[in-house]
Amino acid sequence: MDLFLIRHGQSIGNTVTYDMADGELTELGRSQAAHVLAGMKGAGVTHIVSSPLMRAIETAQPLARETILPIRVWVETFEVRNKGAYRGPSVAEMAKMYPEIRFEDEVEADGWYCSGDEDEEKAHGRALRIIERLRREFPGDERVALFSHSGFNRRLLLAALGLDHRSGVRFLQSNGTMFWLRFEGEGVDVRYIGDFRPIWGE
């Protein structure tokens, strides 16, 4: 499996000083989503997975529309949160806003739920579960674009690389950047880190 781990574009929450658990993309964020689409041309993406948060889904939308692939929402890929509980929009509301999405986890009808009390150990455990799920569901030559968040992306990268949650390793991530990992057997190769640039031929 080739995994393209992508941070969402700038959202309203990135521009305010108070806690905003979720929010739509700004105009800059939408241009970053378009840049992601341009950067992924030629990548041969076979599956799109996203956090249930709107900013991640909206970043994934241009790629989903271009490739005619559904956005597979995995609830456990939401951002690390320790500032209180949050409940997302109802499944019906989400489907109306984002017709490309397909929830692949059991979700209460009134919306997915985040307890908002994660510490480092809990977040790392969630990241390990997602890495295990990726390996299980995509064991071959699949090419998966996963749209998530800076905090959870860091935990995913630590988990994928076999590093402990207490590790001091940091990964610089601006909005709309990408990490390309290749999983072969038990090994992981880091193929690319950074902003999008021409990588694949048309």
Nearest to 112 by CA among 33, 57, 60, 45: 57
- Enter the tokens of residue 146: 């996963």
Q: Name the amino acid, one letter, at 15.
A: T
Residues with Cβ < 8 Å from 164, sequence gap 6 or more?
124, 158
| CB 73, CB 57: distance < 8 Å | yes
Give the separation between CA 144 and CA 32, rounded to whole angstroms: 19
Give the separation between CA 51 and CA 197, rounded to whole angstroms: 24
In this prediction the pTM is 0.94
3-state DSSP assignment of residue 78: coil
- Enter the tokens of residue 112: 């997915």
Radius of gyration of the chain measured on its C-alpha atoms: 16
pLDDT tens digits along 175-194: 999 999 999 988 999 998 88
- What's the whole-number average pLDDT of the chain? 92
Nearest to 176 by CA among 153, 192, 196, 146: 196
Give the separation between CA 41 and CA 44, rounded to whole angstroms: 8
Give the separation between CA 145 and CA 194, rounded to whole angstroms: 15
pLDDT tens digits along 100-157: 999 999 888 889 999 989 998 999 999 999 999 999 999 999 999 999 999 999 999 9
CATH architecture type of domain 2-139+155-181: 3-Layer(aba) Sandwich (3.40)
- Enter the tokens of residue 43: 């990548």
Give the separation between CA 139 and CA 133, rounded to whole angstroms: 10
- At residue 202, the pLDDT reads 47
**Per-domain residue ranges for the chain?**
2-139+155-181
